[in-house]
Amino acid sequence: MSEPNLMAAELLETSAAGYAAAAARELLARNDSLRTRYGSAAVATWRSHFTQRLLELAAALRMSEPALFARRVVWQQKAFAVRGSGSNDLALGLRTLKDTLVAELPENTRDSVAAYLQSGIDVLDEELEADSSGLDPADVHGALALQYLVACLEGDVRHAVQLVLDASNGGMTIEALYVEVLFPAQQEIGRMWHAGEATVAEERVVSDTTRRAMTLLCHQQSSTESIGTTVVAASVARDAHDIGIRAVADLFQVAGWRAISLGSDVPSAEIGNAVKIFDADLVVLAATLTTHLKKLQETIESIRAVSGDDVKILVGGHVFIDAPELWKNTGADAYAADAAEAVARGAELLGLPKSD
């Protein structure tokens, strides 16, 4: 990582609110039409938007990966589209943000910040691909995920859980139910919420029902003899997503590991302490957003300080989906694309025999 990139990242993280406010004022001063369309919420809306973009920009600079910021802009382009705002608003905002930062940042950080912002502006010239749920009713797993999601959204939680339990009793594995049914349903309700197609209440009903279903699925599995290894699983500090990391712990437990789940938003030092207290052989860390990467690195450093290379570290989470090689910059030992793969990767790291 270059010194200007690190300096720029730290400046953006500590002063995001101030830079965002300045950019919002400048944007609305330049564009009366935006002030009219966004009404009384214009200043607050754009200040909030710019603050998040600045934190994402800082994360990309810290990791020396401009593509991380560009991918977030693509996601924002879709969000603007589904809410009825065009890419033009987003482009105006990014250009204004770039002008504001170039004018206010120290000279030795301006070029790198401007280049990363430009990478995001450039992707707006590309054609936006249509978004889709990815739930295929012609596929057995997709059909079940749709049925489950509909039951949740109708408030029939009992039926939703029973659908999953019946599939398990019918021979569908817990790995398939987690990875190909429950997680796609979660991703779809998340997409619907971002698109304004679902309320916060509906999203929470689905998430809470998924947690209930997971608890029952994990406990109804036939007990497996312990293989004498321990895994600690956690989502890093500031990452409030708990379902994915809980699934990781469940699948390790079903595979015979002693699985210690710390849940979400766990401070770096506490994960290091847990590794020592439970004498862990493996740590699995999850990060969802680019803005969580700094905490991920800090957590890995904390674990190394306690255990050196004696404990293996596996990372995963949504932040790696579009950049699967990014894990190599975090200090981890390996990456897993989903919960089921995490169990296999963990066994490989410890030199355990492959399970049947």
Q: What residue spans in the chain does CATH classification 1.10.1240.10 cover?
A: 140-220
Q: For residue 175, give the amino acid letter.
A: E
In the chain, CATH 1.10.490.20 covers 3-123
pLDDT (average), residues 236-261: 95
Q: Which has the minimum average pLDDT: 101-115, 141-155, 166-180, 214-228? A: 214-228
Instruction: Compute the distance between CA of residue 317 and CA of residue 242 in angstroms, rounded to an integer.
Output: 11
Amino acid (one-letter) located at 143:
A
- Residue 129 has a pLDDT of 52
CB 202 within 8 A of CB 282: no
Distance CA 283, CA 272 (A): 9
The whole-number average pLDDT for the span 256-277 is: 95
Bigger pLDDT: 222 vs 234: 234
Segment 2-16 mean pLDDT: 88
Segment 116-137 mean pLDDT: 74
Other CB atoms within a 10 A radius of the CB of residue 302 amount to: 18
* pLDDT at 308 exceeding the cut of 90: no
Q: Which residue has the tokens 């770039």?
A: 98
CATH 1.10.3720.10 assigned to 140-220: no
Contacts 24+ apart (CB under 8 A), 121-126: 121/73, 121/91, 121/94, 121/95, 122/70, 123/70, 123/73, 123/74, 123/77, 124/73, 124/77, 124/87, 124/90, 124/91, 124/94
Per-residue model confidence (pLDDT) at position 181? 96
Token pair listed for 99: 């002008």
pLDDT of residue 130: 46
Which has more confidence, 356 or 108? 108
Q: Can you tell me whether residue 256 is helix, strand or coil?
A: coil
Contact present, 71 and 44 (Cβ < 8 Å) = no
Most distant CA atoms of the chain, gap in Å: 68
Using CA atoms, how far apart are residues 21 and 143, in angstroms rounded to an integer?
Answer: 46
Q: β-strand 312-316 against 334-335: which pairing, if any? A: parallel
Angstrom distance (rounded) from CA 311 to CA 231: 10
Q: Is the pLDDT of residue 114 over 90?
A: yes
The structure's pTM equals 0.78
Domain 3-123's class? mainly alpha
Q: Which residue bears the tokens 């190909």?
A: 180
Gap between the Cα atoms of 267 and 269, Å rounded: 6
Q: Candidates 3.40.50.10470, 3.40.50.280, 3.30.56.10, 3.40.50.10540; correct CATH number of 230-349?
A: 3.40.50.280
Burial level of 157, CB count in 10 A (0-12/13-18/19+)? middle
> Taking the alpha carbons of 287, 293, 295, 300 in that order, is the dihedral positive or negative?
positive
Q: By three-state DSSP, how is residue 22 classified?
A: helix
pLDDT at 131: 46
pLDDT, tens digit (0-9, with 9 covering 90-100), for 166-208: 999 999 999 999 999 999 999 988 887 876 677 899 999 999 9
User: Do strands 258-266 and 334-335 pair parallel, antiparallel, or not at all (unpaired)?
Assistant: unpaired
Beta pairing class for 312-316 and 282-286: parallel
Which part of the chain has CATH 3.40.50.280?
230-349
Per residue in 51-107, pLDDT (tens digit) is 989 998 998 999 888 888 988 888 788 777 756 666 789 999 999 999 999 999 999
Using DSSP's 3-state secondary structure scheme, residue 321 falls into coil
- Going by pLDDT thresholds of 50, 70 and 90, the confidence category of residue 237 is very high
